[in-house]
Amino acid sequence: MKQYRTERNQTVVVLLDSMSVDATALTRFVRQGGGLVLGGDALRVPSLAAISPARATVTRGALAGALLTDVPQNGLEAWELTPTRGSVVVRSDASDHSHREPVLVARRVGAGRVVA
């Protein structure tokens, strides 16, 4: 878990794996105006589900050679996101399933925000 200070001296926590976290402290931190970025396996931490803007459903495999194309994100393995209630899809991209797929989802929690 990494913490970054923003220009307004607010802190953002970046959580990228499913390591042991204090969900109560993180929830309190966000409700008081902090920011939380969830990515990777952190999207599947059950104790953070109440504040997460999205559920990670299945993994999308990486496409060989895609890092060198105009859609390099397809060269990375990623979770497919399903937005939770009260969340906003900030960005979606075309998928292989003939529909647009959320890739950046945000949610306000108290005075703070959580993005996935």
Q: Tell me the C-alpha to C-alpha distance, in Å, between residue 2 and each of 11, 39, 88, 111, 116.
A: 10, 12, 24, 20, 15
Segment 107-116 mean pLDDT? 95
C-alpha span between 114 and 37 (Å, rounded): 6
Helices (H) and strands (E) in the chain, counts: 1, 8
The reported pLDDT for the residue numbered 56 is 87
Segment 10-31 mean pLDDT? 87
